[in-house]
């Protein structure tokens, strides 16, 4: 069985990308609130995916705990 070394995710680039994903997610959500219905749904879905990208390290940690 392979042992995975636990990598600390705290580099400047990772923090910047996380903040950018979260910011874009909030921006898309505000744009979806003002858009007509078909466009609002697409923007809302993109907002959810961007928020998931911002939480990618938390999601990976939860999946690893679940699989153990």
Non-local CB neighbours of 39 within 8 Å, separated by 6+ positions: 32
Look at the chain and report how many structural domains it folds into: 1
Domain membership flag for residue 1: no
pTM of the model: 0.80
Is residue 36 a part of any domain in this protein?
yes
Q: What is the pLDDT of residue 49?
A: 98
Q: CA 62 from chain center: how many Å?
A: 14
Residue range of the domain that includes 43: 12-67
Of 14, 18, 42, which is closest to residue 28 (Cα–Cα)?
Answer: 42
Question: For residue range 27-49, what is the model confidence (pLDDT) as tens digits?
Answer: 999 999 999 999 999 999 999 99
């Amino acid at each position: 069985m392979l042992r995975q070394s636990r990598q600390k995710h705290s580099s400047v680039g990772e923090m910047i990308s996380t903040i950018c994903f979260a910011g874009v997610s909030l921006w898309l959500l505000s744009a979806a609130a003002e858009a007509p219905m078909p466009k609002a749904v697409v923007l809302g879905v993109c907002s959810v995916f961007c928020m998931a990208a911002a939480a990618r390290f938390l999601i990976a940690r939860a999946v690893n705990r679940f699989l153990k």
